[in-house]
Structure 1
Amino acid sequence: MSAPNLLVLATGGTIAGIAGSATRHDYRPGQIAIEDWLQQVAEFGLSAKLTGKQIANIGSEDIGPPIWTKLHREITAAMADDAIDGIVVTHGTDTAEETAFLLDLTLPATKPVVLVGAMRPADVVGSDGMRNFVNAVWVAGDAGASGRGVLVVMGDRVLGARDVRKVRTRGTDDAFRGFPRGGIALVTPSALEWFGNPWREGEGARFSYSEDLPEVPILYVAAGIEADLVDRILGENAKGIIVAGAGEGNMPDGVRRRLAEYARDGVVVVRASRVDEGLVDREEGEDDANRFVAARALNPQKSRILLKLLLSEGVSDLETIQAAFDNP
Structure 2
Amino acid sequence: MSQPHIRILATGGTIAGIAGSAIKHEYRAGEIGIDEYLEKAGGLGLGAELSGTQIANIDSANIGPAVWDALHAAAQGALAEDDCHGVIVTHGTDTLEETAFLLDQVLPAHKPVVVVGAMRPADAVGYDGLRNFANAVRVASDPQAAGRGVLVVMGDRVFAARDVYKVRTRGTEAFRGFPRESVALVTPASLEWFGAPWRNGTGAAFRWTADLPEVAIVYVHAGLDAEALRRQVGPGTRGVVIAGVGEGNMPDAVRGELAKLAREGVRVVRSSRADEGLVDREPADDKRGFVAARALNPQKARILLQLLLASGQGDPAAIQRAFDGG
TM-score bracket relative to the smaller structure:
over 0.9
1:245-292 Cα offsets, whole Å, 9 max, x none, are 0011111111111111001111100000000002100002x2122111
Pairing 1:308–2:310 present? no
Contact 2:271 2:277 in 1 (8 A): no
Pairing 1:95–2:82 present? no
Give 1:226 deviation, angstroms.
1.4
1:227-261 Cα offsets, whole Å, 9 max, x none, are 11221111112111100000111111111111110
Pairing 1:231–2:230 present? yes
Q: TM-score, normalised by structure 1?
A: 0.98
Q: Match of 2:140? A: 140
Q: Which amino acid aligns with 2:198?
A: W
1:268-320 Cα offsets, whole Å, 9 max, x none, are 00000000002100002x21221111000000000000000000011111110
Q: Match of 1:327? A: 325
Aligned residue for 1:193, secondary structure, equals strand
Aligned residue for 1:152, secondary structure, equals strand
Q: How far apart, CA to CA, are the structure 2 residues paired with 1:164 and 1:51?
A: 27
Q: Match of 2:220? A: 221
Pairing 1:274–2:279 present? no
Spell out the pairing of 1:239-258 with structure 2 (5 A cutoff).
239-258=238-257
Q: How far apart, CA to CA, are the structure 1 residues paired with 2:280 and 2:48?
A: 44
1:44-96 Cα offsets, whole Å, 9 max, x none, are 12210000110000010000000100010011111111011100000000001
Q: Match of 2:120? A: 120
Q: Match of 2:110? A: 110
CA RMSD of aligned residues (A): 0.7
1:124-145 Cα offsets, whole Å, 9 max, x none, are 1111000000000010011010
Q: Which amino acid aligns with 2:305?
A: L
Aligned residue for 1:234, secondary structure, equals coil
Q: Match of 1:184? A: 183
Q: How far apart, CA to CA, are the structure 1 residues paired with 2:176 and 2:186?
A: 15
Q: TM-score, normalised by structure 2?
A: 0.99
Q: Match of 1:80? A: 80
Q: How far apart, CA to CA, are the structure 2 residues paired with 1:200 and 1:45?
A: 31
Contact 2:279 2:293 in 1 (8 A): yes
Q: Match of 1:40? A: 40
Q: How far apart, CA to CA, are the structure 1 residues paired with 2:67 and 2:61?
A: 12
Q: Which amino acid aligns with 1:300?
A: P
Q: Which amino acid aligns with 1:268?
A: R
Count of residue pairs brought into register by the alignment: 326
Q: Which amino acid aligns with 1:316?
A: G
Aligned residue for 1:271, secondary structure, equals strand
- Unaligned 5+ residue runs, structure 2? none
Q: Which amino acid aligns with 1:158?
A: V
Aligned residue for 2:133, secondary structure, equals helix
Q: How far apart, CA to CA, are the structure 1 residues paired with 2:10 and 2:301?
A: 26
Q: How far apart, CA to CA, are the structure 1 residues paired with 2:178 and 2:21?
A: 36
Q: How far apart, CA to CA, are the structure 2 residues paired with 1:77 and 1:131?
A: 27
Q: How far apart, CA to CA, are the structure 1 residues paired with 2:212 and 2:313?
A: 13
Q: Match of 2:69? A: 69
